[in-house]
Amino acid sequence: MAEVVKMPKMSDTMTEGVIAKWHKKVGDKVSSGDLIAEVETDKATMDFESFQDGTLLYIGAKEGEAAAVDAVIAILGAEGEDYQALLSDSGSQKETSEPAKAPKEAEKAPEEAEKAPKETEKAPEEAEKESAPVVLNEEPKSSGSSDADAEAMGATIIRMPLLSDTMTEGVIAEWHKKVGDQVKSDDALADVETDKATMEVTGYADGTLLYVGVEKGQAAKVNEIIAIVGKEGTDVSALLKSGSKPAAAVELKAEAQPDKAKPAVESKVIAEAQHVESDSTSRLKASPLARKIAKDKGIDISQVKGSAEGGRIVKKDIESFKPTEQTQSPKVSQAAATTSASHSAPAAPAAASAPAVIPQFIGEEKYTEKPVSQMRKVIAKRLAESLFTSPHFYLTMSIDMDSAMQARTKINEFASVKISFNDMVLKAVAVALKQHPNVNSSWLGDRIRYNEHINIGVAVAVEDGLLVPVVRFADGKSLSHISAEVKDFAQRAKSKKLQPADWEGSTFTISNLGMFGIDEFTAIINPPDACILAVGGIQQVPVVKNGAVVPGNVMKVTLSCDHRVVDGATGAAFLQTLKALLEEPVRLLV
């Protein structure tokens, strides 16, 4: 799908840029990393690179002309694609191009007056050419609702569903069908990775898969078109123009040319300024980004073979370059020579010994970058919002766990499932919340909600991040019931089988790192809860009992509170109740 290329803001004082030179013309193929233009700003002349593969369909600012920041200067897309709708959406384009033509038209006025008869003859042909894009552009505007059009055509649009309350986009983990396959209404079309789990999306209709809008591994916004199912041979181009913009386009006709089918990527163009020294490397054809990466890695760029047009060196050439023995830097060779010479030289007398020479160590900086998963995106967003908007304060208390350890041993002799210390803490928290309803509350902006039910979220670590399944009505459940439920949640969380109902609706959260040997820590509140309890491990430490120092088993807990809802005294009273319950576990049974 065609994408506009706008004039970027390349410096803090830049308001417009001048196209110093175009390296591509309309109709040329453009590959990722190709230099398409040079832009003169108020600071320097910079290279303008493309990160998109496609054809240059339109140039909005000619060489020597100025374009305001964010003005459309080019359009990239598929060969022959209609881009007029993009120009009509951008009012700045006419303001950029029309004034620039005025001087040239004024200079040619006398010549045009002489050629008036010829121009009159050509007028009908030019009028037809100029009006043609306008006719094409009117079709999408009058198409109406894409879903209604699809129904009239006998097709069904499959959109990215809202699979959780926090979901804003989903990633296609796997397609189970490809374009041209027959689909039944209950068939699983694809697996979608959300911020919580991986779920299936069904076809909803019988027919042929005509269109796939998002490639495997790519993300799509909620309600964006991801597929179209209908009668074989149905033309769905009108539906795509009237519907939301797809992230990628793989139509049925693409099967004839599988090697050329590539997912369209978001059109991004970067510009970098670099002052090049007047040495031999400055005459090489290389992008500024490639030169910078080569410099950072210590690579002699003259040894790199360029893969772009005209042998130009781009980013991927530097990243894939592997130096040989002949292309090693002089410093490496010199270090090797120095090392060999030091081994062959005879030992000098101790009296005339030279100062110690620190040997050189040649290393290579390496790193790996991975796309951020949907789960990690939501964790980052929600916890950042919580920490930076909720005024946190923390209360820490030490709890004597001797009695709890003895009680747990006795309980496990009769319980149908093994009771853990985490289960006992969860039950004690539920009982304490019943006595302190102000802690079991939520901040809702213009009001505070005091929850009368007790739903406790239990933080569970998984491979991609963190999930918080909810034990509902925990105050009314037995230790055995709580233990079995938490174990089931943990197993399903790690296998990505949890459903949205399993992690929604918590009123309080517990995060326990005691099993990892953590003494104490502070946790970030899980919105919309007002508090979260961070539980550390049980440590054997000296304690004073009846005036004597004896071995004791102490567990530290830290309560993170939202000061908009919970005050210090309120949080402290809750911790005192929790301490009393765990130090006398029999009270949990009352």
What are the residue numbers of the active site? 563, 567
Nearest to 169 by CA among 96, 244, 78: 244
Residues 257-279: b if buried by 16+ CB within 10 A, e if exposed = eeeebebbbebebbbbeeeeeee
- List helix spans (H) across 189-246: 237-242
Q: What span, in angstroms and rounded, lies between the C-alpha atoms of 575 and 561?
A: 12
Write out the two tokens for 255: 């099967």
In SS3 terms, 59-90 reads as: ECCCCCCEEECCCEEEEEECCCCCCHHHHHHC
d(CA 33, CA 48): 9
Tokens encoding 563: 């000061």
Q: How far apart are the first and last CA of the chain?
A: 67
Q: How far is CA 503 from CA 456, 460, 473, in A?
A: 10, 11, 14
The Cα 85–Cα 90 span in angstroms is 9
CA distance 162 to 168: 8
Whether the CB-CB separation of 212 and 250 falls below 8 Å is answered with yes
In this structure, which amino acid lies at residue 569? Answer: A
Outline where DSSP puts E strands in 350-440: 392-400
What does each C-alpha distance from 522 to 177, 220, 424 come to in angstroms? 46, 35, 20
